[in-house]
Amino acid sequence: MIKKQIILFGAPGAGKGTQAKILASKLNVPHISTGDILREAVSKGTELGEKAKTIMEAGELVPDEIMGGIIKEVLMSEKCKEGYILDGFPRTTKQAELLDQILSHIDLDYPVVIELNVEDEIIVHRLSMRRMCSNCGYIVNLESLENQDVCPNCGAKNSFIKRKDDDEAVIRNRLKVYHESTKPVLKYYEGKTEIIIVDGTQSVEQVSELIISKLS
């Protein structure tokens, strides 16, 4: 039987969001992105959502306790009864410990951890080639486009802009934070659950097929 409780892990730019959407569709389970569930909790006006909103509006990071509470609400909801794909949580060993407590409380087993492994220099190159259409917000990689002057989504000409997030200095700083704070989470899960390491430099289709075959 294919495993459907998954933590998707990897550096920024490794392709987690893309693979999470594909896997969610193939396995028919929800893709739980921390950004998305925060926005959902805020829009629904839940007690935790209201607390998070106040903190976010002040420009501060949402504390682990509130984030954990929101994750718990989602994992306990009807939509997660068949499984889930967690993307963006846990980011630290403290959050991993918090997730352990949540899963224990709602009587769920450890999820499988899937790491998309991509070398830093490949990520720097990949993200620095990323552009956003200023007309429709569509994200592209310039190397994958036949015509780099036209947005393939809306047809706008010369509309591509480079986001601050995709400047090399910013990318390298995000990678530094990942290696210092998030990478140790993999060590935390060693011996606790199955860890599947996948080469994230392959094509999107190859990576998703490899993940599915290893989950079976």
pLDDT digits (tens, 9 = 90+) for 111-127: 999 999 999 999 999 99
d(CA 32, CA 129): 27
Find out whether the peptide bond into 184 is cis, omega within 30 degrees of 0: no
Average pLDDT, the chain: 91
Task: Name the token pair of 160.
Answer: 């591509």
Question: How many CB atoms neighbour CB 77 within 10 A?
Answer: 11
Catalytic residue numbers, as ranges: 16, 91, 130, 163, 174
pTM, to two decimals: 0.84
Question: How many CB atoms neighbour CB 156 within 10 A?
Answer: 15
Q: pLDDT for 107-165, tens place per residue?
A: 888 899 999 999 999 999 999 999 999 999 999 999 889 999 999 999 999 999 998 88
> Of all residues in the chain, what percent carry a pLDDT higher than 70?
100
Tell me the CATH number of domain 5-118+178-215, given options 3.40.50.1470, 3.40.190.10, 3.40.50.2000, 3.40.50.300.
Answer: 3.40.50.300
Q: Is 183 helix (H, G, I), strand (E, B) or coil?
A: coil
Confidence of residue 55 (pLDDT cuts 50, 70, 90): confident
